[in-house]
Amino acid sequence: MTVENIEKVDKMINRTFGSCVVKEKIAVGGFGTVYKAIDTKLDVPRALKIFHPHLSEEKGFRQRFEIEMRLLAQLDHINIVRIISAIDEPDITGFIMEYVEGKTLADILEDDGAFPIQTALDVFIQVGKSIAYAHNLKHQIIHRDLSPDNIMIRPDDVVKIMDFGIAKTIGSERVTQTGIVLGKPTYMAPEQFEGTVSAYTDQYALGVILYEMVTGRVPFDAESPIALYKLHLNEDPIPPVELNEKVPTFLNNVILKTLAKDEKDRFKNVDELIDVLLNQGSPTTRLENKITPLIIDAHLAVDRENFGEALEIYDKILAMEPSNKEALTKKQETLQLVKTHQEQDLIEEWFHQAQAFHEAAMHEEAFNYVKDFLKLACHYQNSKTVTRYISSLQKRMPETFSSAQNAVKEELENSQKITRVGKKLFQQNKFAQALEKFEEALLINPYSELIQKLQSLCHKKIKMAKIAEMYRDAIMALKNEKYAEAVHWFEEVLKLHSGHKDARKYLEMAQAELSRLQKNRSEVDDKYKQAVEEYNNWNFTRAIQIVEEVLHIDGEHKDAEKLLRETKDRIDEGNKMEEIAFFYNQGMTFFKGQQWDKAIKCYERVLRYMETHIGAEKYKQLAEKKLKDQVQIDQALQEGLENFRNSKYTQAIKSFDFILTLDKNHKGARQYKTLCDELRGLGAES
């Protein structure tokens, strides 16, 4: 890497990408450098991976980068590090991802050696499920570079897989050079050394990782990739149980199967591998084979009218497969059967009660039971039992039955009339008023399925309207920066509709902004108190600096504005001169150090106090010119280096000459110009 590129990496600290400010370097790997950053809007840590300059400048890299970022955007799994956004700038490519606290599996293995068997399985199952998820996407994604270095374990034991960055869609057009080997040789399948990559190569890498976790060592080790390739291709690994007697037989066999030389001898996919591990060596039957017997059992339970047992079975099926259409349909049918049986029991009960009260000469009670009987019986007009009951009541108590029949007819007509009014109100979007009518109608005719459905629909509409109103209030509060109010309304929305994705997303935003404001308020109060103390101690310059920081955070801080005015009024001419001298000398120091932007700020501070300061005005103009020249130098240097790499030495020399006209002491331009002259003299120009 050239001197210029090293300086470029060093200058990453405090550089901003969107709302993220780079704070510190975390690690350097074969593909790039990882930094820790702070998202200033959300006040949460992020991680940035910046690819090495020599990769970014490689022909075709940005094409691969764009494709890979689109692939990474598909990954949404608890055990995969989430990619937040891409970084694609003229001098830098990389991406912003979630920041993960913890240690890599490689570090843990190095520090502690082999894992206890159950711990190894707990970690490995999380790794395997994330890889299976990536393999099962519509556009399959292969990791290609699995190793303990790419596996993070958080303090809460949640596993996070990193570096899907060299993955590619299986079956898509190749963008890497033919024959290139991607991955770490220790964890590569034999066929991967030959350029073949598939889901089976990921499975092989998983096998090596599990082997290492339970034995404390890898199955094959050698000093060179070629030697490793020969071992992976020709040698059988030592069975894990011979290195660790605590390894169960089933686990020993599973690991050896994943390390088979021929991919056909491995598990058919990672899902099957995980399935076998979870069942300690015995693969479970297909989900369909589990569900079919349960469906039959549920049908038999319904035939026996054991509806409670049937509903429990359907719930069990839906827990295994929530979208199972047959179970969903049959469960609803069973619930309807339960309702029907309950209502038929009521019909029978009221039939007998009416007769008993009639025989006891309790005519009013008999009348009321006949009424209830008839209201429910009208929904079962095709039932022979109901027809028989009606005939029996007509014979035994003709007057009571006739009176009850007329009363029911009148009440049902009234119920229908009220229902029609409710429907009109519903059509006018007056849902609360419509609900009152439907509830009034149900008091008269509580068994009407139509009115029950209309009531339910009203409740749903009212709930939706309430959610929409609260969501609107929340959005307006968020827009007006009333974050506490926004948090309240978004939480109310989620109480009614927990699946409201936008409400949840904006709630997190409002909470982050509220937290930031509270933090800023505390910071403002502390700074303001500090400024007052400096003012009282006659440290006016320091007081002004602190007050200006307060106003930068809170531009409407009235007390700070007043203190600033008073402080400036207290600064006499002598203080001004001292201030002028300080900033002028500081500006000259920055100027000599070629820190042009800082020098300009110092001279502007001088000119704020004394507009006619000749020296400050002169050097400010010179610094501005130098800063402008620096931009041109950087651009010319980039063009010169590009022409140099492409053996266009004459064009490169023009760029380096241009730089030297602006900065005759520019060491890099002078060195590259001399080198171009020599190469051109040798006839190496393209």
Kindly state the tokens that stand for 130.
């994330």
Check residue 3 and give its pLDDT: 36
CB 218 within 8 A of CB 211: yes
Question: Distances from the Cα of 564 to the Cαs of 112, 147, 259, 547, in angstroms?
Answer: 59, 59, 73, 6
531 beta partners: none
Q: Report residue 229 CA to chain centroid gap.
A: 38
Secondary structure (DSSP) of 460-480: HHHHHHHHHHHHHHHHHHHHT
Query: Is 76 an annotated catalytic residue?
Result: no
Check residue 5 and give its pLDDT: 44
Cα–Cα distance, 140 to 115 (Å, whole number): 31
Q: Report residue 224 CA to chain centroid gap.
A: 40
Check residue 522 and give its pLDDT: 79
How many residues are listed for the chain in this entry? 686
Delimit the domains of the chain by residue range. Answer: 3-98, 103-278, 289-371+381-396, 577-686
Kindly state the tokens that stand for 298.
């549920």
Which amino acid belongs to residue 560? A
CB 38 within 8 A of CB 18: no
CB 96 within 8 A of CB 84: yes
Burial class (CB in 10 A: 0-12, 13-18, 19+), 286: exposed
Q: Which fold has domain 103-278?
A: Transferase(Phosphotransferase); domain 1 (1.10.510)
E runs forming strands in 146-222: 151-153, 159-161
Secondary structure (DSSP) of 430-458: -HHHHHHHHHHHHHH-TT-HHHHHHHHHH
| Identical fold between 3-98 and 289-371+381-396 | no
Cα–Cα distance, 398 to 387 (Å, whole number): 15
Kindly state the tokens that stand for 85.
């956004």
CB 524 within 8 A of CB 557: yes
Nearest C-alpha neighbor of 204 from the set 137, 254, 151, 163: 254
Residue stretches of the chain with pLDDT short of 70? 1-10, 30, 165-183, 281-290, 538, 571-576, 686
Looking at the domain that runs over 289-371+381-396, which CATH code has it been given?
A: 1.25.40
In the CATH scheme, what is the homologous superfamily, with its name and number, of domain 3-98? Phosphorylase Kinase; domain 1 (3.30.200.20)
Mapping DSSP to helix (H, G, I), strand (E, B) and coil, where does residue 92 land? strand
Kindly state the tokens that stand for 81.
């590090």
Cα–Cα distance, 549 to 524 (Å, whole number): 8
The single residue listed with the structure tokens 């020969």 is 230
Question: Distances from the Cα of 674 to the Cαs of 2, 16, 330, 644, in angstroms?
Answer: 17, 36, 85, 12
E runs forming strands in 546-670: none
Q: Which CATH class is domain 577-686?
A: mainly alpha
Catalytic one of 145, 149, 372, 473 = 145
